[in-house]
Amino acid sequence: MVQAPASLSNPAFGNILLALAGVAAYLCIQSLLVWLSRRRDRAFLVFSGWAACSLLYVVGQWWQYKAPTPQSSLIGARLNVAAAFLIAAFVAECVSELTGRRHSRLFRAAAWTACITGAFCTLVLPGSVVAETNHIVYSPFGHTWYAPDNGPLFYLYFPVIITVLVVLFRDVLSTWRKRAPLDSWILLAALGVYTLSGLNDVFVS
């Protein structure tokens, strides 16, 4: 039986997650309102979807952190991982809109199918992507939480997500000269954060 860590009740990290959730909610609503007034600019609709999935991701992370028992933390873990799959698909669409590089219908269909089925399996098939067991993660920043063990399908989907991210990195780098340097750095930073987060989930958490 996993025992609850003593520092689990520390509210600092939980408050940071709630603040991030508020930012994601604002960006989602604001981008959606802009799109409603400018229907031809599809980038705002895509960004709104990205922000909505990011909101679900942060809420899942918050639930994991605040969960009083290992079993209840799995609810947040499933929401967190399912949202991560959908984020990958929306990030691909957003980068495509910003760089002007249109991927083939086959690539887009494969990416969306993999991400949607990954999210579906995570939420509907317990133990497939997120295992029914977990462990305690001790952060160097002083907070701890229950993290799920990876299910067998997680390692099947991970290479798919990494492939999508590699393609997106290529898109950003290949169109570097066509955009302002700041835009390129923002895109690379966003992709870098998601890549490092994914690697952390697999090899650390």
Contact by Cβ (8 Å): 117, 42? no
138 forms beta bridges with 144
Cα-based distances in Å from 205 to 26, 33, 109, 157, 173: 29, 37, 30, 17, 30
Per-residue confidence of the chain (205 residues) as pLDDT tens digits? 444 444 444 567 778 888 888 998 998 998 899 889 888 878 888 888 988 998 998 898 888 888 778 888 888 889 988 998 888 888 888 777 777 777 777 878 888 888 899 899 999 988 888 888 887 777 666 667 777 888 888 877 777 777 777 777 777 676 666 655 565 666 667 767 766 666 666 555 5
pLDDT score recorded for residue 55:
92
Q: Please give the Cα distance from 197 to 57 (Å, whole number).
A: 12
pLDDT score recorded for residue 5:
47
Q: What residue ranges in the chain does DSSP mark as E strands?
A: 130-138, 144-150
147 forms beta bridges with 135
Q: Which residues of 133-146 are buried (b: 16+ CB within 10 A; e: fewer)?
A: ebeebeeeeebbbb
Cα-based distances in Å from 8 to 3, 58, 91, 170, 196: 11, 17, 32, 40, 24
134 forms beta bridges with 148
* DSSP per-residue codes, 73-93: HHHHHHHHHHHHHHHHHHHHH
pLDDT score recorded for residue 169:
73
Residue 181, H or E segment: helix 181-203
